[in-house]
Amino acid sequence: MDDFRKLVDIMARLRGEGGCEWDRVQNHDTLRQYLVEETHEVVDAIRRKDPSLLCEELGDLLLQILFHAQIAKENGEFDISDVIASLSGKMIRRHPHVFGDSRADSPEAVSLQWEHIKRTVENRSHPSLVDGVPREFPSLLRAAKISKKAARAGFDWERTDQVVDKLREELAELEEAMGEGDPSRMEHEMGDVLFALVNLSRFLGLNPEVAMMSANDRFERRFREMEKIASESGSSIEESDMRTLDLLWEMAKKATS
């Protein structure tokens, strides 16, 4: 706790008289972008499987939390002790199978119990069962959260093959829209295809946002490898025809993970 208190004091010093001019002019709104950036950097460190980098990035994320808590303290709203106390109470309250007499024998049961406590004990109910998902979430993540809420209410398929059939149906409708050449309808149908893919991810126990991040990284690695192979052969991507590009792509796939 001495180290933590020292960190809290450092944050207060940076915000105080004679502190850092940049830190002193920040507020909750101006810090939003940094909170998002630091969160993504933590995720990237986890993806890289680099413990030292993860340790560093978690520290940067913690700094953002302390920053917001210090601003709230200056505004007379709450401080970091209140944040910790609130979190401790929430963890105990939402884990009655650990700190009480309740039973939850599977991750699914724990998740259902968690949602039940939020709605009843904490009275965090919403007008709609699919409310409560921040619009600021990345689109794939938001789709996953919304579809999961709808599924908990019973609006769901029973088997994975039914989801696959739905995906095929949506793809057929997209092809039909492409045939018509209507941009508005194509956008509509593309959204339905992506939403169906999100539901398929959920049925397979996958996080679509994480899967998309991995796909982006994979494509980038392979494209860079294509550029490298082309350069070593005295050519370039821009100068290559489609047949050569296909060959370069296959070579890149074999050379990268």
| Secondary structure (DSSP) of 116-128 | HHHHTTS----SS
Below-70 pLDDT ranges, the chain:
1, 125, 129, 257
Domain range for 34: 2-88
pLDDT of 155 reads 87
Is residue 245 a part of any domain in this protein?
A: yes
DSSP assignment letter at 235: -
Per-residue CA distances from 136 to 32, 36, 139, 200 (Å): 11, 10, 8, 23
Of the residues 165, 190, 206, which one is the last residue of a structural domain? 206
Is residue 104 a part of any domain in this protein?
A: no
pLDDT of 131 reads 77
Is residue 75 a part of any domain in this protein?
A: yes
Give 243's Cβ-side CA count (13 Å radius): 0
What's the CATH code of the domain at 134? 1.10.287.1080
Q: What is the maximum span of the chain, computed from C-alpha positions, in angstroms? A: 71
Q: Are 210 and 181 in contact (CB under 8 A)?
A: no
DSSP assignment letter at 57: H
* Helix/strand number for the chain, H first, E second: 12, 0
What type of residue is 57?
E
Is residue 95 a part of any domain in this protein?
A: no
Encode pLDDT of 220-251 as tens digits. Answer: 999 999 999 999 999 999 989 999 999 999 99
Q: What is the pTM of this model?
A: 0.68
* CB-based burial label for 131 (10 Å; 0-12, 13-18, 19+): exposed
What mean pLDDT value characterizes the chain? 92
